[in-house]
Structure 1
Amino acid sequence: MSPLKSTPYWRLSGFYFFYFASLGVLVPYWGLYLQWQGFSAKEIGELTAILLATRIVVPNIWG
């Protein structure tokens, strides 16, 4: 396989790596940031649930 044909694979795998790495770094601190902004525990839970639910539902809609 030539290097030109393997390029899309590395782009896609690189995208997924950085996407999930950024989520892994940011999501644990999302609740602390919202708490610092003055949100209640209930509101933080609701926003976090919405954030995670969209990651489950939206890919199924997009196909």
Structure 2
Amino acid sequence: MKKCKGCGSYTLKENECPKCGGELGTPHPPKFSPEDPYGKYRRKLKKEALDFGKEND
């Protein structure tokens, strides 16, 4: 099942929307993973930013 990005209607077509001819996309959100592959980098960057702020006070 696809959803039109233009008019928001749903269709089983693969190429274009039968109503408006718009581009189709998947209506489902991306998969959620409790194991965040970039979490350690984000936490490290946040810690460095906090430490940098303490040094400049």
- Structure in which a larger fraction of residues adopt strand: 2
Structure-1-length-normalised TM-score: 0.34
Structure-2-length-normalised TM-score: 0.37
Q: Using CA pairs below 8 Å that are at least 6 residues apart, which structure has the higher relative contact order?
A: 2
Query: Which protein shows a greater Rg?
Result: 2
- Structure in which a larger fraction of residues adopt helix: 1
